[in-house]
């Protein structure tokens, strides 16, 4: 299972050792790609956290007309695979004049229905009596979310963050389509172009692949238990 990774690093050090890394880094503006990816990832995850926490809170704790229908509407979008709505999304983005901007990379992904679902399940497990006690103490609806619900949901929030960091960092088809200038490229798109340009210079390509994977690799090694159990839990969403 690990062999391809071993070969990646081994080949990246062929003919020139670590200078391959410096050369690949200078060949195309990987610095810009990294920066773009970090900006996109951070803002996307922040957006997901805010929108999901608010929506999940409403779905979990408030009674209102149409709650069931709305929630079903949200869930149903999860069943439709991304390539199905890719083309019209592109049309919408070009109407908004968002093509080739950070907005196109970030805004459509600041909602993740699975995160809403996950957080809602978690929020619902918090006993109602806690809410009544907080209200008696003069806590507002938002205050209860901020001071009681969120601190009690740390593990669910970490799951949401990890999922979205991985998803955002690795996303490829969307940024490939909605950006076209070189200085808007994210890491994955940049790497795929570099792959076409440096077609058979494998040591350089392996060096580039290595430094594109290392940040997530480190995140994974540091929190692998959490990540793997999050994925395992994602399989139980039915």
Partner 1 sequence: MKRWTRSFTPLFYIMPALAIVLVFRIVPILGSFGVSFTEYDIGGLQRISWFENYSRMLGDPRFWTSVGNTLFFVLGVVPAGIVIPLLFAMLLRGKLACKSIYRTIYFLPVVTSAVAISVVWTWLFNPEGGPVNALLGFFGAEPLMWLREPRGIFEMILSPLGIRLPGLLGGPSLALVALMIVSVWKSIGYNTVLFLAGLENIPNEYYEAARLDGAGAWGSFRHVTWPLLSPTTYYVLIMSTIVSFQTFALVYVMTPPPGGGPLGTTNLLVFYLYQKAFDRFDIGYASALSVFLFLVLLGLTIIQRRLAGRRVVYE
Q: Compute the C-alpha angle 221/160/155, nearest 5°.
A: 75
Q: Does 170 bind partner 1 (CB under 8 A)?
A: yes
Please give the full DSSP string across 30-55, using - where no structure is assigned: HHHHHHHHHHHHHHHHHHHHHHHHHH
CB of 196 to partner 1, least distance (A): 6
Pick out residues in 94-133 that bind partner 1 (CB under 8 A): 107-108, 110-111, 113, 116
Phi, psi values for residue 205, rounded to 5°: -60, -40
Binding mask 130-149 for partner 1 (x = CB under 8 A): -----------x--------
DSSP-derived letter for residue 182 is G
Which of 68, 69, 72, 88 lies at the binding interface for partner 1 (CB under 8 A)?
88
| 61 contacts 123 by C-beta, under 8 angstroms | yes
Binding mask 55-74 for partner 1 (x = CB under 8 A): x-xxx--x-x--x--x--xx
Query: Would you give the distance in Å from CA 78 to the centre of its chain?
Result: 15
CB of 25 to partner 1, least distance (A): 15
Q: Does 155 bind partner 1 (CB under 8 A)?
A: no
Q: Does 87 bind partner 1 (CB under 8 A)?
A: yes
Which of 82, 125, 155, 183 lies at the binding interface for partner 1 (CB under 8 A)?
82
Binding mask 24-43 for partner 1 (x = CB under 8 A): --------------------
Which of 42, 182, 192, 222 lies at the binding interface for partner 1 (CB under 8 A)?
192
CB of 17 to partner 1, least distance (A): 18
Q: Does 208 bind partner 1 (CB under 8 A)?
A: yes
Q: Spell out the residues 6+ positions from residue 184 whose beta carbon is closer than 8 angstroms to its own.
A: 36, 100, 101, 102, 105
CB of 224 to partner 1, least distance (A): 6
Phi, psi values for residue 200, rounded to 5°: -120, 15
CB of 125 to partner 1, least distance (A): 19
Q: What radius of gyration, in Å, describes the C-alpha atoms of the chain?
A: 21
Q: Does 91 bind partner 1 (CB under 8 A)?
A: yes
Of the candidates 101, 92, 97, 115, which has an alpha carbon nearest to the alpha carbon of residue 46?
115
Q: Spell out the residues 6+ positions from residue 119 whose beta carbon is closer than 8 angstroms to its own.
A: 52, 53, 56, 57, 60, 153, 156, 157, 160
Which of 34, 39, 46, 51 lies at the binding interface for partner 1 (CB under 8 A)?
51
CB of 142 to partner 1, least distance (A): 9
Q: Does 81 bind partner 1 (CB under 8 A)?
A: yes
């Amino acid at each position: 299972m690990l062999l391809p990774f071993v070969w990646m690093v081994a080949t990246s050090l062929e003919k020139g050792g670590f200078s391959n890394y410096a050369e690949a880094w200078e060949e195309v503006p990987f610095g810009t790609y990294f920066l773009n990816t970090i900006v996109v990832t951070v803002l996307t995850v922040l957006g997901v956290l805010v929108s999901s926490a608010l929506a999940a809170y409403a779905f979990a704790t408030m009674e209102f007309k149409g709650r069931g229908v709305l929630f079903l509407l949200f869930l149903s979008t999860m069943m439709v695979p991304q390539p199905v709505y890719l083309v019209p999304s592109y049309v919408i983005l070009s109407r908004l004049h968002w093509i080739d901007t950070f907005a196109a990379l970030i805004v459509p992904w600041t909602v993740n229905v699975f995160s809403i679902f996950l957080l809602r399940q978690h929020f619902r497990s918090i006993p109602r009596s806690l809410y009544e006690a907080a209200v008696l103490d003069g806590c507002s609806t938002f205050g209860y979310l901020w001071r009681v619900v969120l601190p009690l949901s740390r593990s669910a929030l970490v799951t949401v963050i990890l999922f979205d960091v991985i998803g955002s960092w690795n996303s490829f088809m969307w940024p490939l389509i909605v950006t076209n200038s070189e200085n808007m490229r994210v890491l994955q798109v940049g790497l795929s172009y570099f792959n076409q340009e440096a077609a058979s210079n494998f040591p350089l390509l392996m060096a580039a692949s290595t430094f594109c994977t290392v940040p997530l690799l480190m995140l994974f090694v540091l929190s692998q238990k959490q990540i793997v159990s999050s994925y395992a839990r994602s399989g139980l969403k039915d």
